[in-house]
Amino acid sequence: MNPQECEVYCAGDAVLDCGAVLVDARIAYVTFGELNAARDNAILIPTHFGGTHENSQYLIGNGFAIDPARYFVIVVNLAGNGVSSSPSHGLGADFPRVSIADNVRLQHELLTESLGVNKLALAAGHSMGAVTVFHWAALFPDFVERAAPICGAARISVHNHVFLEGMRGILVADPAFNGGHYTEPPRSGLRTMARAWAAWPPSAGFYRHADYTTLGYTSVEDYLERYWETTYTGMDANNVIAQINTWQSADIGALPAHGGDFQAALRSISARTVIMPCVSDAYFPPEDSEIETAAIPNAQLRPIRSRWGHWAGSGRNADDTAFIDAQIRALLSE
C-alpha cells in the first residue's frame, strides 16, 4: 500500500463560521488508489484530535474493507493539526476559530474542484474524524452515500465541553503560555495536561487489566511518560487550543439549514449510516449514539464491546479494528 506524497490544496481566503477570514487556507491530504471513470468510488477519512494523515491509515489496505485496489481513498488533515492550516504556521494565538463545518466545506471544495470526486461511497472516521463524518452527512446529504462515524457524535455534549475546558485551563495556566504568545513551548502546561488527559481515552478497565503493557509499556508511569508526555510535549500549544476550539464547535443542529434543531439535522441525513460507539467510551457514550441512530432514517447502531474506551476506534487493539472493518465491509456491500 503506497500512498502518494502528502499534497496541499490551496483554497484561498476562507470566510469562517465565526466571521473571521482564514487567509490562504490550506488543506493537506494523501490519497490511495485511483478514482474510477464515474468518479464515485471515493472514500474520505478525516483525521482525529492530534492526529495526522500518517496515523489515520489503520483501516486502509489490501484485505481491508477500505481497499485501495477498489477505492480512491483520501485521508484529509483537519485544520489546526499542524499539517493543514494551523497556528504553528505563523498566526499563533491570532489563528481564527475553525469549526468542523468550516473544515467540511473546505474538504468538499478539495474533493469536487481539485480531485474531481462526484460522490463519496463512504465517509469514515474516528473521534473528531467521526464528528466530521456526521457534519459531512448533514451538510452534503446528496454527496455522501454511506457514513461510518466511529467513537464520535453529531454534537458535542455538555460533559465533553466541560472536559475540554479542563484541559484548556491546565494549559493556559502555565505562565509560559503567555496568552498564546509564548517564545518557548509551555512544557509544564503540556506535560500536566497530558497526564490529566490520559485518564479519558482508555477506560478504567484498560488500566485495571494493564492493557498498556500490550502497547509496549512496562508500567503506568512508563506509559504516562513515554506515550502521553512525549506525545503532548511534541505538539504546538496553540495547535492544541485550536483543535479544542474546533472540537467544541461541533453541532450539526447549528448548521444554517437547521436553525438549532438537532433532531431535524439528524433526520436530514440520507446516507446509509453505521454508528459505532464503544461501550466504555467516556467522551461519546452509547446513550448519545442511540439518540442519533433513532433519528437518522437509514442508521444502524453497532456498539464496539471493548474495554479500550475511546481508543477502541483508534487502531491500537486488533480485535476492535477487526470488528470495525467488518461493519464497514457490510456497509460497503449494501
* Other beta carbons within 10 Å of 280: 22
Tell me: the pLDDT tens digits for 72-116? 999 999 999 999 999 999 999 999 999 999 999 999 999 999 999
Given the residues 236, 281, 288, 320, the one annotated as active site: 281
Question: What pLDDT was estimated at residue 62?
Answer: 96
Told to judge if 127 belongs to the known catalytic residues of this protein, a careful annotator would answer yes
CA nearest to 132, candidates 123, 144, 141: 123
Question: What pLDDT was estimated at residue 146?
Answer: 98
Told to judge if 67 belongs to the known catalytic residues of this protein, a careful annotator would answer no
Given the residues 203, 288, 310, 314, the one annotated as active site: 310
Told to judge if 310 belongs to the known catalytic residues of this protein, a careful annotator would answer yes
> DSSP secondary-structure letter at 224?
I
Cell readout for 326 is 467488518
Given the residues 84, 88, 127, 289, the one annotated as active site: 127
d(CA 80, CA 247): 11
Considering Cα of 185, then 173, then 127, then 318, what sign does the dihedral take? positive
Contact residues for 234 (Cβ-Cβ < 8 A; gap 6+): none
Tell me: the pLDDT tens digits for 236-270? 999 999 999 999 999 999 999 999 999 999 999 99
Segments in the chain below pLDDT 50: none
